[in-house]
Amino acid sequence: MKVLLIVPDGVAVRNYLYSSFIVELFKKKAEVIIYHQLSESAITEIKNVHPQLDTFIEIPKFIESPLTRLLRESLAFARILRNIKVLKNRTVITFWNRNHKTFKLKALNIVSEFFGFILSKSYQLVLKADYWYEKRILKSQVIEKITKDIKSINPDVVLNLHQRSPLTAPIVAVAKKEKIKCSTVIFSWDNIPKGRLISRYDSYLVWSDLMKDQLVLLYPEISEHQVLVVGTTQFECYFNQENYLKKELFFKQYGLDPLKRTICFSANDRSSPYDPNYLEDVCKVIKEMVENERPQILFRRCPVDKSDRFDTILETYKSFVTPIDPDWRVESHLKTAFASIYPTYNDFVLLVNTVKHCDLVINLGSTMAHDFAILNKPCLYLNYDPIHNSTLPVNTIYNFEHFRSMKGLNAVGWINSKAEILDMILKTLNKPNEVGSDRKKWMETIVLHPLDKNAINIAKALL
For 349: left if phi > 0, alpha if psi spans -120 to 50, otherwise beta; the answer is: alpha
Q: Calculate Rg over the CA atoms of the chain.
A: 23
Query: What share of the chain has pLDDT > 70, as a percent?
Result: 98
Give the H/E segment covering residue 83. helix 66-87
Q: State the angle between helix axes of 103-119 and 66-87 in degrees (0 to 180), rounded to the nearest 10.
A: 50
Q: Supply the pLDDT for residue 188.
A: 92
Query: What share of the chain has pLDDT > 90, as a percent?
Result: 93
Q: Supply the pLDDT for residue 333.
A: 52
Question: Can you say how many angstroms the Cα of residue 286 is from the centroid of all Cα atoms in its chain?
Answer: 30
For range 165-191, the mean pLDDT = 96
Predicted TM-score (pTM) of the model is 0.95
Q: Supply the pLDDT for residue 331.
A: 77
261-293 pLDDT per residue, tens? 999 999 999 999 999 999 999 999 999 999 999
What do you get for the CA distance between the two ends of the chain, in Å?
8
Do residues 328 and 344 touch, judged by C-beta distance below 8 A?
yes
CB atoms within 10 A of CB 407: 8
DSSP string, 308-362: STTHHHHHHTTTTEEE----EEE-TT---HHHHEEE-THHHHHHHHHHHH-SEEE
Angstrom distances, CA of residue 228 to CA of 94, 263, 287:
28, 37, 49
Q: Supply the pLDDT for residue 280.
A: 98
229-244 pLDDT per residue, tens? 999 999 999 999 999 9
CA distance 279 to 320: 13
Eight-state DSSP code of residue 408: T
Angle ∠(86,443,303) on CA atoms, nearest 5 = 90
Q: Tell me: pLDDT of 334 over 60.
A: no
Q: Supply the pLDDT for residue 332.
A: 60
Q: Supply the pLDDT for residue 335.
A: 45
Q: Determine phi and psi for 154, rounding to 5 degrees.
A: 55, 60
Do residues 247 and 357 touch, judged by C-beta distance below 8 A?
yes
Mean pLDDT of the chain: 95
For 44: left if phi > 0, alpha if psi spans -120 to 50, otherwise beta; the answer is: alpha
Q: Tell me: pLDDT of 192 over 50.
A: yes
Nearest to 164 by CA among 79, 85, 235: 79
Do residues 425 and 285 touch, judged by C-beta distance below 8 A?
yes
For range 133-158, the mean pLDDT = 96
Q: Tell me: pLDDT of 435 over 50.
A: yes
For range 452-459, the mean pLDDT = 98
61-120 pLDDT per residue, tens? 999 999 999 999 999 999 999 999 999 999 999 999 988 889 999 999 999 999 999 999
319-332 pLDDT per residue, tens? 999 999 999 998 76
pLDDT band at 339 (very low <50, low <70, confident <90, very high): low
pLDDT band at 146 (very low <50, low <70, confident <90, very high): very high
For range 401-423, the mean pLDDT = 97
